[in-house]
Amino acid sequence: MDFPVELLINALIAGILLGGFYAAVTVGISISFGILDIVNIAHPAFIILGSYIAYIANQRLGLDPILTSILVLPLFYYLGSLVYQVYYLSFEKRGQEALRGLAFFFGLLFVTEVLLILVFGVDYRYVHAGYIDTTLRLGFLDLPMRMVVPFVISMLLMAGLQWFLSKTFTGRAINAVAQDQLALSLQAADPIRIKRIAFAISIATAAIAGALLIIIQPVEPSVGREYIGRVFAICVLGGMGSLPGMIIAAMLLGIVESITSTFYGPSWAPAVAFGFLLITLAVRPAGLLGR
Amino acid sequence: MRTWQFFLISLAIALAAFFGARLLGNDYLFFAGYVVLQFIVLATAWNILGGYCGYVNFGSAAFFAIGAYTTVVMTKLPAFAKRNLPEGMADLVVAMTPPAMPVLVILGGVIAGLVGLGTGYLTLRLRGVFFAIATLALAVVLQTLIVNWDFVGGSRGAYVIRPATVPLLGINYIEYLFLVMLVLVVVALTTARAIERSRLGYGFATIRDDEQAAEACGVPTLRLKLVATTLSGAFMGMAGAPFPYYIGYLEPSSAFGLAYAVNAIAMPMIGGTTSWVGPLVGAVLLGTLQQLATVTISSAISLLIVGLLLVFFVIIAPNGLIGLFNDYFRRKKPDTEEAHKVAVKTS
């Protein structure tokens, strides 16, 4: 049998689409961990929460998941600022963020997961929308719309965030707070407020990522855990705070995973992210485009 | 108290507890007690790295599962040898496996310790946070490996037949497992206490307080951290080794359950991370509470309680119950001193 070139190209395209989605999942971590140095391992739990909200709205009201996620953005924003306020008062202010801050987020992750299990059970949930079951065919290329739509939305989100972070005052202040808090206060910007806004934005992106997740695959409460390895691998490989680097890293991981599951079977895919993370940490801890 | 004195005294207490439990003659006590004891070992093991060095391990379930699956491999070996090896070698393997429980425990400990060493070596040269993240991912990857490994049953899981009695000691098997775990608890607590009072323990404390300063003063931080990850991983593996015999049927999602990881963190955090008493207190309280909640309400609720308690304690009582206890008595002291001063002035 000769080498299946068409299969490989399809796997590549699928990987890029998957990578685009991974970028939406990771961007929250890129802001909270990459820029603010807050190790928010509960981020995937917020994403799953977003998925379930999209599921409920879709089930009860027939709303489109992406529309739902945009509607609940303010809700997630305030949830984010609440979490940051608690985190700041209990850990950052006391200088205990290393050990106890991590344990705090881990507790949040676990509590969210158990609550979702108690309310919804461990069945897989999915949404209905017109585009989910259709597939574009270009010659031998298969482009399932359930991957293309999240890819497009994710890229729009990236463009918006990149513009916000590099052009607006608040966005630049967010970048600055990571480098020099004192200098920021001299510019009459309250570092704590800026950090709170940034963290709230990072949680708000989880609403969108959650909606994209449930479009791509059925969701159950513990799915989030599979994403922890992935998001941190992407974030580190992408060079912590850099959005363009993160997008490249996300696509790389998407391609590697897609090729692995095409040629070796999908049950091996979760191991790829970890291998990715370990190699990154061992070889190039500063990431592709270092900060 | 010297370490050997502590060891003998706690061993005596453990044996007294065992014979006391036998007098009650209730098998359920051993089933529930085993779980609590297992959590004491897990919590103490986590605390060697997390509490003493300040490095958070989220992958306790992975190390626990390594111990458990080492045992599964051992129980699968005889049948495998009969099928694939020549006569003479097969007989030898059948005669040797599965080995006695203490040997299984040590094997599980060695393998989990090696994995701990490897993970530590790859990640501990970087910032501590990466170690925490790597351990989280390690659990996912090991689970993937086990799911894809048919020899140990893959995702279907594996049955391990528990013998009814132990001929040598003349007690039934659950009592035997309880006893093994009890001895393991004594060993773990003695080790943790000995570390606390040794140069090693002071080295760990310097890492926890200020790693850069410690490095500058000539503390071999990387080597100490590797010792801590290895020890901690080894004890977790040991806690997992008897587990297949206890549960009878092991499958990846139960061996890698997030409950182990959460409990291993929550127990020391709630008890207090600075001394060996903390994990013990936390594990006994939380373990018993969970057993009660599982029986009376549901196991999901009992896990929710653990999660909420963890969040609550890290926010409200950063030093755990032991910290609260110490604060209470320390607050008393200055009062009496002040009263003394006042008394001196007025006289």
Chain A environment of B128 (Cβ under 8 Å): 98
Q: Do both B309 and B196 map to the same domain?
A: yes
Note the pTM of the prediction, 2 decimals. Answer: 0.85
User: What's the mean pLDDT in B148-170?
Assistant: 79
- Res. A147 pLDDT band, cuts 50 70 90: confident
Q: B291: distance to nearest CA of chain A, Å? A: 17
CA-based angle B47:B53:B58, to the nearest 5? 55
What's the complex ipTM? Answer: 0.81
What are the tens digits of pLDDT across the range B290-327? 888 888 888 788 888 888 988 888 888 878 888 888 88
What domain range is B331 assigned to? 320-347
Radius of gyration of chain A (CA): 19
Give yes or no for a contact between A100 and B50, defined as CB atoms under 8 angstroms apart.
Answer: no
Give yes or no for a contact between B254 and B207, defined as CB atoms under 8 angstroms apart.
Answer: no
pLDDT at A280 over 80: no
Whether B132 sits inside 8 A of A110 (CB atoms) is no
In CATH, what number is assigned to the domain containing residue B13?
A: 1.10.3470
Q: Do both B198 and B166 map to the same domain?
A: yes
Q: Do both B327 and B304 map to the same domain?
A: no
Q: Tell me what pLDDT residue B156 has.
A: 83
Q: Tell me what pLDDT residue B332 has.
A: 57
Searching chain A, which residue's CA lies closest to the CA of residue B121? A282
Instruction: State the pairing for strand pair A135-138/B171-172.
Output: unpaired
In SS3 terms, A31-65 reads as HHHHHCCCCCCCHHHHHHHHHHHHHHHHHHHCCCH
Q: What total of structural domains would you count in chain B?
A: 2
Which of A43, A89, A96, A114 is the mutation pick for testing B, counting most B CBs within 10 A? A114
Q: What is the count of residue pairs from A and B with beta carbons less than 8 Å apart?
A: 121
Whether A90 sits inside 8 A of B310 (CB atoms) is no
Q: What percent of chain B has pLDDT over 90?
A: 24
Chain A environment of B130 (Cβ under 8 Å): 236, 281, 285
Whether B137 sits inside 8 A of A110 (CB atoms) is no
Q: Do both B228 and B302 map to the same domain?
A: yes
Q: Tell me what pLDDT residue B295 has.
A: 82
pLDDT at B335 over 60: no
Q: Do both B311 and B326 map to the same domain?
A: no
Amino acid at A215: I
CA–CA distance, A141 with A251 (Å, rounded to integer) = 18
Searching chain B, which residue's CA lies closest to the CA of residue A121? B300
| Segment (H or E) for A260 | helix A243-263
Chain A environment of B314 (Cβ under 8 Å): 90-91, 100, 103-104, 107
C-alpha dist (Å) from residue B63 to B142, B158, B204, B326:
9, 18, 21, 33
Phi and psi for A143 in degrees, rounded to 5?
Answer: -120, 90
Whether B54 sits inside 8 A of A98 (CB atoms) is yes
| Span of A103-112, A136-145, A147-156 with lowest mean pLDDT | A136-145
Q: Do both B230 and B336 map to the same domain?
A: no
Q: Do both B52 and B82 map to the same domain?
A: yes
Q: Do both B109 and B254 map to the same domain?
A: yes
Q: B79: distance to nearest CA of chain A, Å? A: 27
What are the tens digits of pLDDT across the range A156-201? 999 999 999 889 988 888 888 877 778 878 877 788 888 899 999 9
Chain B environment of A104 (Cβ under 8 Å): 311, 314-315
Q: Do both B145 and B261 map to the same domain?
A: yes
The per-residue pLDDT of chain A, averaged, comes to 85
Residue B259, classified by CB atoms within 10 Å of its CB into exposed (0-12), middle (13-18) or buried (19+), is: buried
User: What's the mean pLDDT in B97-123?
Assistant: 87
User: What's the mean pLDDT in B134-146?
Assistant: 83
Whether A90 sits inside 8 A of B315 (CB atoms) is yes
pLDDT at B29 over 50: yes
Give yes or no for a contact between A204 and A84, defined as CB atoms under 8 angstroms apart.
Answer: no
Q: Tell me what pLDDT residue A291 has.
A: 43
Q: Do both B342 and B269 map to the same domain?
A: no
- Res. B96 pLDDT band, cuts 50 70 90: confident
Give yes or no for a contact between B316 and A103, defined as CB atoms under 8 angstroms apart.
Answer: no
Q: Which residues, other chains included, contact A75 with Cβ-Cβ below 8 Å and sequence gap of 6+?
A: A207
* Token pair in block for residue A186: 């001299």
User: What's the mean pLDDT in A5-13?
Assistant: 85
In SS3 terms, chain B reads as CCHHHHHHHHHHHHHHHHHHHHHHCCHHHHHHHHHHHHHHHHHHHHHHHHHHHCCCCCCHHHHHHHHHHHHHHHHHHHHHHHHHCCHHHHHHHHHHCCCCHHHHHHHHHHHHHHHHHHHHHHHCCCCHHHHHHHHHHHHHHHHHHHHCCHHHCHHHCEECCCCCEECCCCEEHHHHHHHHHHHHHHHHHHHHHHHHCCHHHHHHHHHHHCHHHHHHCCCCHHHHHHHHHHHHHHHHHHHHCCHHHHHCEECHHHHCCHHHHHHHHHHHHHHCCCCCHHHHHHHHHHHHHHHHHHHHCCHHHHHHHHHHHHHHHHHHCCCHHHHHHHHHHHHHHHHHHHHHHHHHHHC
CA–CA distance, B176 with B189 (Å, rounded to integer) = 20
Q: Do both B117 and B260 map to the same domain?
A: yes
When comparing pLDDT for B328 and B35, which is higher?
A: B35
Q: Tell me what pLDDT residue B342 has.
A: 52
Chain B environment of A94 (Cβ under 8 Å): 318
Which of A39, A99, A235 is the mutation pick for testing B, counting most B CBs within 10 A? A99
Q: Do both B312 and B325 map to the same domain?
A: no
